[in-house]
Amino acid sequence: MTDPSQVRLAAASPGGMIRRATAADVEIIRNLYLEIGREHLWVLRMDWTADEYRQRMAQEHAVFWVAFHGGDPSGFAETWRHDDDSVQIMFLGVRTGLVGRGIGKRLLSVVLQETWQTKPKRIFVHTRTYDGEHALANYLKRGFQIANTKCFRLEIPPQFETRASGLVVTAKAAGVYPSVQRRTEAWLRDSIAGRVVGRLLRSEGKLSGVSRPGI
């Protein structure tokens, strides 16, 4: 998204409230990440302490929002301003039991509206198949456009294996699970063994039929 005129705001959801998070909200943000992240394989910060979140929230490049529904925390968002003045939506999620009540689209609307007031070069986001069935649709409805798609490998900690298996079944049923070709490509790109095999195959001219989407 490169211009604020591209934003399509959603109406406020009944009984909801969204505000910037402060240092006093560290535990709220941490608990929301843990709860929402377990559902969508957000593995990077599962072991973060309150102090680590406090340090992240104190950085000038980071901005957090917290959403409430009926007075209780319902979701959160985080953005990060890069050195080139572009802003990335790092996380945006809603508690599973509250999905479908318009919280996510309003949260995204507030994030976009307030972020554009800081005059960034652009706003962008990376979303995944496992970020929820409404995630991509929400971004598109708010004015984002798909710039690229990519298949990648995700290392799953043991405590996520059951959930990951369920998400794979859901993705296959929805027809969005990556093909064997794209999964092989991701392995060739991301793993050490894969890169070695890839170089050997390319030297023999055997990868001509494997497409490589841009990054």
Task: Compute CA distances 30 → 54, 81, 125, 210, whole Å.
Answer: 10, 21, 21, 41
Give pLDDT tens digits for 17-63: 999 999 999 999 999 999 998 887 787 888 899 999 999 999 999 99
| Measured distance between the N- and C-terminal CA atoms of the chain, rounded to whole angstroms | 17
Helix or strand holding residue 193 (H, E): helix 192-203
Q: Where are the domains of the chain?
A: 4-146, 148-215
Question: Is residue 62 helix, strand or coil?
Answer: strand
pLDDT at 99 over 60: yes
Count of alpha carbons within 13 Å of 95, Cβ hemisphere only? 16
- 208 pLDDT tier (thresholds 50, 70, 90): very low
Q: Which of 74-88, 104-118, 122-136 has the lowest mean pLDDT?
A: 122-136
Average pLDDT over residues 74-102: 95
Order across the sheet with 16-20: list the strands: 16-20, 62-69, 72-81, 87-94, 123-125
Selection from 2, 40, 10 nearest residue 138 by Cα:
10
pLDDT of residue 210: 34
Q: What is the DSSP string of 67-107?
A: EEETTEEEEEEEEEE-TTS-EEEEEEEE-GGGTTSSHHHHH
What residues are paired with 75 via a beta bridge?
A: 67, 94
| The CATH fold of domain 4-146 | Aminopeptidase (3.40.630)
pTM metric for this prediction: 0.74
Give pLDDT tens digits for 119-137: 999 999 988 776 777 888 9
